[in-house]
Amino acid sequence: MYANELRSRGLIIEKAYISGKWQDFDDKIEVLNPATEEVIGTIPNTPIDSVLMAIKDSSLAQEKFKHSTGQNRHDLLVSWYDNMMKHADDFAKIITLENGKSLRESRAEIDYAAGYLTHFAKEALKDRSYEVEANQIFSKRKVDYVPIGVTAAITPWNFPLAMITRKAGAAIAAGCSMIIKPSELTPYTATLMCKLLIDSGMPENLIQIVTGYPKEIGEVFQNSFTIRKLSFTGSTAVGKILMRNSAETLKKLSMELGGNAPLIINESSNMDTIIKMVLNGKFRNNGQSCTAVNRVLIHENIYDKALENIIKTVSKLVVGDGFNDDTYLGTVITETALNRLERLMQIAVKQGAKLELGGKRLGNKGYFFEPTVLTGITNNMEIARQEIFGPVIAIQKFKTDNDAITIANDTDYGLAAYICGENQQQNIHMANSLNFGMIGINDTRLSDAKIPFGGIKNSGFGREGGEEGIFEYIETKYVALN
Ligand code: ADP
C-alpha cells in the first residue's frame, strides 16, 4: 500500500543516478519488505562500464567543485537539509518499508541523518590553514587543507540514510565528489536522498548512485586510481577485503566495522537506568547496530534483581510490522539473518547458556525474531565473541571491577562500551581502562553528528562526524615561499 503510493509520487526511484541522469539497466535485483516478504520493487545492477563512466564524471565534477567556496558548500548542505526535512515523513516510510524498523525509529534516523548535514555545513565554513614560522630558507610558510579528490562510499542497510549523510556531508564540506553504492537491501532511501540533493541545486555529478551487486562494484572502486578515498561501513570481513584490495591504488580508507560492546552494570546502578540502557543499547534498530550492547555484565550483588527486571521488561516488548502504531521492535533484515540468529542461539545453549526468554523466529511470515534473554554466558562462548546483530541479550555475572574490565576488554573489537552505576569515580576509572573508541556512562545514546564516531582494532579506523570527520576527506598541503 505505502509502496504504491510512494512510487506514484515519484519517491521510490528504481534507478541508478549516473552521468547526470537516472539510468536503468537490464539486470535487476529485487528489494523486499522484510515485514511482509513482498517485493517492493527492483533496482538495476549497474554494469561495470557504467561504474567506470560514473568515476570519470565524478572526476570532472571534482575538478570544478574543488574551486567552490566554503560558503557554496555550506549553502548546498543547508538546502539539502531543508529538502530532507520537508520529506521526513516520506523518508521514514521508505526506511520502514525496506529496512523493517518501526516508523518511530525511522523518524529518529531522519533527524540523526540530517544532523550531519547541518554539522558539516558549519564545518565547511572553517578555515583550517595556518602559517608556520619563517626559517632561513623560506620567508613564508603555509599549511593548507585541500580536498582529497574523487571519493566513494559503500554503505549498509541498518541506517540506510544516516550512514550516507555522515559520509556525503563530510565529502561535500571538504570539496569532494562522491560515488555511493548503497546496500542492495535498502537502495530507495539512497535514491530519494540523491533526488533531494539534485533538487537542492547539486552541481552536476557531484554525487552519483550506483546500485547493484556489491562485489563487482566494490572491485571497480578498489581498483580505481581516480578514487582517492573509500569510506566503508559494514562488516569487518568485508572491510578487510576492501582494505586488502585497495593496497594497489594506495587510496585513503575509513573503516567503520563491527562491534562487540560490553555493558557493565555496577553494584551501585539504579534499576531505571539499567532498564533504559538495556532497552536503548540493545534494541535500537532491533539490535542491528555496530554500537549495540553485545554482552551485558552484571555485578553479582544485584544480578538477581537486575535479571528479573530485564526479563519483565523485555517480555512486554511488542514485535511487529514497523507501520503498526504499537510496534516497538520491527524485523531483522533478511531470512539469512533470522537463520543465523537461530543457529547462534542453538550454539549458545549447547555451550552452556540458559535460555530465559525467546530464542526463535516469531510467526512464519516476515523476519521477526523473539526478544531474547540468555544467561550463563562466558566470554569464550561463540555468542560472546561474535557480533550478535539481533534482539538478544547475553548476560554474564562478575565480582570485581577488575574482572569486569578484563572481560569487557577481552574482544578483538573496539567500537563502543557502556557503564552503568551511581559511583562516577568508579565509572570514570573503568572508562579509562576500557579499550574502545567510544564510551557511554549511564546512557547508551552516544551517536550524534557532533562527535567523532569510530572504533579501534577489528572495529576499524577513521572517525565520522565531529571535528575529525572532515579530515577523512582532505589532504595536508604545505607551501613554502622563498
Ligand atoms: P552486513 O553483514 O551488515 O550486511 P556487509 O559488510 O555485508 O554488512 O554490507 C555492507 C555493505 O557492503 C553493503 O553495501 C554491501 O552491499 C557491501 N558489500 C558486501 N560485500 C561486499 C564486497 N565483497 N565488496 C564490496 N562491498 C560489499
What does the alpha-carbon distance between residue 229 and residue 152 come to, in Å, rounded to a whole number? 6
Q: Angle between the 70-86 and 103-124 helix axes, to the nearest 10 degrees?
A: 160
For residue 183, report the distance from its CA to the centre of ligand 1, in Å.
7
All three cell numbers of 276, joined, read 533504559
CA of 84 to the centre of ligand 1 (A): 26
Q: Evaluate: CB of 316 within 6 angstroms of ligand 1.
A: no
19: cell is 552521468
Q: What whole-number distance in Å separates Cα of residue 65 and Cα of residue 306? A: 55
Phi/psi region, residue 369 (left: phi>0; alpha: psi -120 to 50; beta: rest), is: beta
Mutate to test the pocket of ligand 1, among 183, 189, 213 (most ligand atoms within 8 A of CB): 183
Looking at ligand 1, which residue's alpha carbon is closest to its atom 11? 156
What are the cell numbers at 373?
534473554
Task: Tell me which residues are annotated as active site.
Answer: 256, 290
Which candidate, 410, 411, 408, places its Cα nearest to that of 419? 408
DSSP helix/strand/coil, 378 = coil
Ligand 1 atom nearest to CA at 333: 4
Does ligand 1 have an atom closer than 6 angstroms to the CB of 226? no
Q: Say how many Å lie between the CA of residue 186 and the centre of ligand 1.
A: 12
Question: In which band, very low, low, confident or very high, does the pLDDT at 443 lie, cut at 50, 70 and 90?
Answer: very high
Geometric angle at alpha carbon 389, from 415 and 438, rounded to 5°: 15
Cβ–ligand 1 contact at 218 (below 6 Å):
yes
Q: Measured between alpha carbons, how far is 450 from 460 in angstroms, rounded to an integer?
A: 20
Report in angstroms the alpha-carbon separations of 227 from 28, 52, 73, 205: 26, 11, 21, 14
Under the banding of pLDDT at 50, 70 and 90, the label for residue 40 is very high
Q: Which of 235, 243, 333 to mutate to test the pocket of ligand 1 (most atoms within 8 A of CB)?
A: 235
Q: Could you identify the atom of ligand 1 that is nearest to the CA of residue 235?
A: 6
pLDDT tens, residue by residue, 209-261: 999 999 999 999 999 999 999 999 999 999 999 999 999 999 999 999 999 99
pLDDT tens digits along 377-423: 999 999 999 999 999 999 999 999 999 999 999 999 999 999 999 99
What is d(CA 209, CA 17) in angstroms, rounded to the nearest whole number? 5
Residue 403 in contact with ligand 1 by CB distance below 6 A: no
**Cell numbers 512510487 correspond to what residue?**
7
C-alpha cell at position 20? 547526470
Show the cell assigned to 90. Answer: 516520506
The proportion of the chain whose per-residue pLDDT surpasses 70, expressed as a percent, equals 100
CA distance 111 to 350: 42
Q: Using the atom order of ligand 1, give the atom closest to the CA of residue 258.
A: 3
Ligand 1 centroid to residue 399 C-alpha, Å = 39
Is pLDDT at 1 greater than 80 in this prediction?
Answer: no
pLDDT band (50, 70, 90) for residue 124: very high
Residue 275, pLDDT score = 98
Pairing of strands 227-233, 252-256: parallel
> What's the pTM?
0.97
Tell me: the pLDDT tens digits for 280-333?
999 999 999 999 999 999 999 999 999 999 999 999 999 999 999 999 999 999
| Ligand 1 pocket test target in 99, 154, 236, 243 with most atoms within 8 Å of CB | 154
Mean pLDDT of the chain: 98
Query: Is ligand 1 within 6 A of the CB of residue 183?
Result: yes
pLDDT, tens digit, 9 for 90 and up, residues 96-116: 999 999 999 999 999 999 999
Atom of ligand 1 nearest to the CA of 154: 14
Task: Identify the DSSP state of 368.
Answer: -
Residue 269 CA to chain centroid, in angstroms?
A: 29
In angstroms, what is the span from residue 153 Cα to ligand 1's centroid?
Answer: 11
